[in-house]
């Protein structure tokens, strides 16, 4: 079945780095745009970054631009988020999501991985 | 950036009630509007895409309407499993944005 599984979350000190991964299965990963979305504790959803199917086009939210880098390896059916210069406000559950074709909804979500930035 | 404003932020309703949630965009987004349901501790689930199209497996009591800047999600007869938080999302611009969410609670 179609599935996304995130990993790599954890506790990190302010200013530190972390790399999240998202393993895809059950669909042709290389055909779809992919996104990262996060949700701070007791808060709403915030889109973080998006990457095109071949990795050539990338977008970031202003809140993470210059600190986070999205990438993908289609040979490994995997999506990544390299997070540097982490701040307390980056504390959140991070979800990866597959983007559908018609009007680009996020039609498949992973269960999320938790990132906590604290000293 | 396109801002998405949802209302109400929360509501209390009873099983069987008709519930309507609204979402307003700060500029026209055509029909690039999607609705998600999220239960506590779970990932969001796509309900409606392109403003009014059903995602596979979504019960027919859910419906979406609107275009341009004003959209609605309607639950025709609220069921116990529908108590959750609902989010709208615009996918018109490259930087997607979500509404603040509407928490539907049991009255």
pLDDT digits (tens, 9 = 90+) for B43-94: 999 999 999 999 999 999 999 999 999 999 999 999 999 999 999 999 999 8
CA geometry: angle at B45 spanning B95 and A11, to 5°?
70
Q: In what order do the strands lie in the sheet with B70-75?
A: B4-7, B19-25, B70-75, B62-67
Say if A102 is an interface residue toward chain B (CB within 8 Å): yes
Say if A5 is an interface residue toward chain B (CB within 8 Å): no
Residues from chain A that touch B3, judged by Cβ atoms under 8 A, are none
Q: What's the rounded Cα separation, in Å, for the pair A104 and B30?
A: 13
Instruction: Specify the length of chain B in residues.
Output: 107
Q: What's the rounded Cα separation, in Å, for the pair B22 and B102?
A: 9
**Beta-carbon contacts of residue B33 (< 8 Å; ≥ 6 apart):** A103, B23, B25, B50, B51, B64, B66, B71, B88, B89, B90, B91
State residue B103's pLDDT score. 98
State residue A103's pLDDT score. 86
Task: Select the residue from B48, B91, B99 to test the A interface by mutation, using most A Cβ atoms within 10 A.
Answer: B91
CA nearest neighbour of A79 among A49, A102, A107, A101:
A49
CB within 8 Å: B32 and A110:
no
Sign of CA dihedral A2, A18, A11, A59: negative
Residue with tokens 């992973």, as numbered in its chain? A110
Query: pLDDT tens string for chain A (119 positions)?
Result: 999 999 999 999 999 999 999 999 999 999 999 999 999 999 999 999 999 999 999 999 999 999 999 999 999 999 999 999 999 999 999 999 999 888 889 999 999 999 999 99
State residue B30's pLDDT score. 96
């Amino acid at each position: 079945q179609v599935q996304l599984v995130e990993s790599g979350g954890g506790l990190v000190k302010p200013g530190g780095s972390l790399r999240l991964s998202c393993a895809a299965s059950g669909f042709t990963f290389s055909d779809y745009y992919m996104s990262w979305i996060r949700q701070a504790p007791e808060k709403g959803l915030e889109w973080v970054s998006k990457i095109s199917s071949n990795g050539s086009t990338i977008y970031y939210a202003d809140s993470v631009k210059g600190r986070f880098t999205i990438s993908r390896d289609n040979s490994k059916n995997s999506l990544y988020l390299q997070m540097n210069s982490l701040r307390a406000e980056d504390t959140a559950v991070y979800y990866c999501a597959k983007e559908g074709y018609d009007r680009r909804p996020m039609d498949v979500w992973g269960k999320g991985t938790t990132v906590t930035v604290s000293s | 950036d396109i801002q998405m404003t949802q209302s109400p932020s929360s509501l209390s309703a009873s099983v069987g009630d008709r519930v309507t949630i609204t979402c307003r965009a700060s500029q026209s987004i055509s029909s690039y509007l999607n609705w998600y349901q999220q239960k506590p501790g779970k990932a969001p689930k796509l309900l409606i895409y392109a403003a009014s199209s059903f995602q596979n497996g979504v019960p027919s009591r859910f419906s979406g309407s609107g275009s341009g800047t004003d959209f609605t999600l309607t639950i025709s007869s609220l069921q116990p499993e529908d108590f959750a938080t609902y989010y709208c999302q615009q996918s018109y611009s490259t930087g997607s944005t979500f509404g603040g969410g509407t928490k539907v609670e049991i009255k």
